[in-house]
Structures are given as C-alpha cells and as structure tokens.
Amino acid sequence: MGVTMRDVAQQAGVSINTVSRVVNGYGEISDATRLRVLAAIEDLDFRPNVLARSLVSGKSLSVALVIPEITDPFFPEVTLGVESIARSRGYSVLLCNTNDSPQQELEYMDILAGKQVDGIMICGSRLNEEQLTASASRHRLAVVTSRKPSGAAVISLRGELGLFQSTSHLLRLGHRIIGHIGTSIGSGAERTDGYRRALLEHNMPLDAEREAVVARATVETGRIAARTLLGRRSDITAVTCFNDLLAIGVVQACAGLGRRIPDDVAVVGFDDIDLASLVTPTLTTMHIPRFHLGEMLMELMLRVIGDKGVHEEHLYVDPELVVRESCGARGHPDWPTMQATAEKKEVVTSEGSASSTVFVP
C-alpha cells in the first residue's frame, strides 16, 4: 500500500534515519546523499504517514469543529473561516454536526477524545456551563458562547447587546408594543434579556404575552410563533427576533394575515445571513462577521493548542445594526436625521432594493 521511509531508504541506499532527516530538514547531511534521498522520495512519491508521525509527536494536526447543523445558514461561513486558517497552518478540520442535540454533542466530545484531535472548537453549543467546563478538563477547547466555562478560551457574541440594539432601534422609530421571538436553547435567553433591557430602559412594561419562545429557530417555527403572537396581541406593531430565519417566518405569517411589512408590522432579525438581503422586503438585522468569527475562532484555537497550560483568553464580537426595508426606518420622518447622527460606518449599495445602511453602535 503506502510507500514508507524504509522503501525510500532502500532505494537511496541510506538508513531510514537519514531519510527522516531529509524530510524534516534537520541535522547535517551531505548534499550528495540529500539529493539521492530527495530523488528517491520523488521517484516513489513518498509521503510521510501523518498517523505514525502523530503517534510519536503526540500532535495530530487535526482539530474538530462542533456545530449544531451546517444547514443553518449561520454556520457555513464560520466553517469556511475556520477551515481557511486551519489549512494555512497545516491543520485538518473534522466537521461535527450535533443536530441541535446536547446528547450528540456530548457523544462527539467522547468520540473526539479517542480521535486524538489537538483541539475542539464549539460554536453554538447546547451544553450548559457545567458540561462545558467538564469538557474543557478533557480537551483543549475554544468556544463561541455567552456562558463562562472555566478552562476554555471563549469568544462571546454579544447577543444581549444585539437585541438591545435591534429593539432600541424600533423604539426610536416610535413603536410602543414590540413583540419578541426567542429560543429556549443556547444563547436564546441572553438575547431575550437584551430585548427586555431595551424596553425597561425606555420605561416600557414587560409583557409575557408579547414574547414567544421556540425550540428551534427556523422559518417554520418563526411563522408559527408569529401567528400565535399576533393572534393574542393584535396591537403589536413590531417584532424583534433571535435570528433571521425566525424573522422571515414572521414576514411570511404577516403575508398570510394580510399585515403589511413594515407599515403594519416592523421586523428585525439577527445574523444578517445572505437570505436577509434577498427576501422581500429586505430584512433589517444585526450583522455578524461570520467568516471573520471563524477565522478568530481557529486562531484562538491555535493559541490554546500552543499554550502548555490552560488558556483562558476571552474575546468579544459585536453585532452591528443593518438597516434595510423590514423595519420601516426608511419611510420614517426622522430617517434622514438618524442617518446623519449615527456614526455611519459603511453603506453597502447594490442593485435596486438591495441597499443597506450599517450603523456602528
């Protein structure tokens, strides 16, 4: 099957050791033999067996990326960012989908323990702080989470701040009865907290009837939740959501109920997935630099791996409000003022209705 160092050594008429030296470029070797070895390597198309190498070195040059589901539009870009940095540093990425199940996530942590991965990145964990801390004791971990597990390096996506901003945006536009669709898992509660804080800071009452919670954040569940929400509180004029998929569900539900967006109901999402600028109306949302988040995550992972002891770095990623059509800001009398006063970072203008304005908090 594979050609080994022994084969190369034989072909070049040297010892295995010499081949190893040439391959790894250390020690003193005469140019003559080096060339002969190199020729043999070329000739036999030899490739060092990474497995054997790893067994000796204790490093497998492979890392795992654990995510709920790659089909959720949030994750492909993160994954691409991770993989791009990984490859540039010689690492391979094992992709692990947990199907949103904590059990499967734990099961994967178990499997990976045997696979000898050098580190594990978790993005969108469904584990609680305790479980994460436990995992961190067995693995080198880099996690994107709002929890604070010890022993792991973490990147926090400021979801609380994000929903504070999206909700505040709607309040600025004059909305008073604002609903929210959150999730019961992962970082859902945190984002709902942001929604609530925005209301409280504007002296608005909290009302459980204006909040809906879904177990999985999809277009489907968003549609259902929106129908429930608008059904029991018909005075709701705006809704903030845990993510864009839910927001699109709200848009669909409104279409079904004959409510116009943004005139009758204003909607703001979260994530700024590609979909957000492709649906009608285009979605106002909180932008997350997903590709960059992936890059950060892998770079953090490398630092964790490089450190001998525990590495508890803590980084933050902030969402940015992207104003498109679904919130109704553009039709608002104050819109020119808002545009002018906001510290506008960048205006991405594209074809027709696909323009958007990005604000820095």
Query: What is the closest distance, in whole angstroms, from the C-beta atom of residue 212 to a second copy in the complex?
Result: 17
- Chain residues 241-260 in contact with a second copy, contact rule CB under 8 A: 248, 252-253, 255-256
Query: What is the closest distance, in whole angstroms, from the C-beta atom of residue 47 to DNA in the complex?
Result: 7
Nearer Cβ to a second copy, position 182 or 249?
A: 249
First to last CA, the chain: 59
Query: What is the closest distance, in whole angstroms, from the C-beta atom of residue 166 to a second copy in the complex?
Result: 21
In the list 15, 24, 49, 88, the residue contacting a second copy (rule: CB under 8 A) is 49
User: From DNA, a second copy, none, which one binds at residue 185 (CB under 5 to 8 Å depending on kind)?
Assistant: none
User: From a second copy, DNA, none, which one binds at residue 18 (CB under 5 to 8 Å depending on kind)?
Assistant: DNA
Query: What SS3 string covers the chain?
Result: CCCCHHHHHHHHCCCHHHHHHHHHCCCCCCHHHHHHHHHHHHHHCCCCCHHHHHHHHCCCCEEEEEECCCCCCCHHHHHHHHHHHHHHCCCEEEEEECCCCHHHHHHHHHHHHHHCCCEEEEECCCCCHHHHHHHHHHCCEEEECCCCCCCCEEEEECHHHHHHHHHHHHHHCCCCCEEEEEECCCCHHHHHHHHHHHHHHCCCCCCHHHEEEECCCCHHHHHHHHHHHHHHCCCCCEEEECCHHHHHHHHHHHHHHCCCCCCCCEEECCECCHHHHCCCCCCEEEECCHHHHHHHHHHHHHHHHHCCCCCCCEEEECCEEEECCCCCHHHCCCHHHHHHHCCEEEEECCCHHHCEEEECC
User: Is 166 among the residues that bind DNA (CB under 7 A)?
Assistant: no
- Chain residues 330-359 in contact with a second copy, contact rule CB under 8 A: 351-354
The Cα 28–Cα 77 span in angstroms is: 45
- Chain residues 40-69 in contact with DNA, contact rule CB under 7 A: 46-49, 52-53, 55-58
User: Is 50 among the residues that bind a second copy (CB under 8 A)?
Assistant: yes
Nearer Cβ to a second copy, position 1 or 208?
A: 1
Nearer Cβ to DNA, position 6 or 345?
A: 6
Q: What are phi and psi of 143, to 5 degrees?
A: -125, 140
User: Is 54 among the residues that bind a second copy (CB under 8 A)?
Assistant: yes
CB-based contact 285:272 (threshold 8 Å): yes
Nearer Cβ to a second copy, position 215 or 278?
A: 278
28-36, 90-98, 280-288, 344-352 -> range binding DNA (CB under 7 A): 28-36
Nearer Cβ to DNA, position 6 or 260?
A: 6
Nearer Cβ to DNA, position 57 or 150?
A: 57
Nearer Cβ to DNA, position 45 or 343?
A: 45
21-29, 79-87, 196-204, 259-267 -> range binding a second copy (CB under 8 A): 79-87
Nearest Cα to 64, choosing from 93, 85, 29?
93
Enumerate binding residues for a second copy (CB under 8 A).
1-2, 45, 47-52, 54-55, 58, 60, 62, 65, 69-71, 73, 75-77, 79-80, 83-84, 92-97, 110-111, 113-116, 138, 219, 223, 248, 252-253, 255-256, 275, 278-280, 351-354
Enumerate binding residues for DNA (CB under 7 A).
1-2, 4-6, 13-18, 20-21, 23-24, 26-30, 32-34, 46-49, 52-53, 55-58
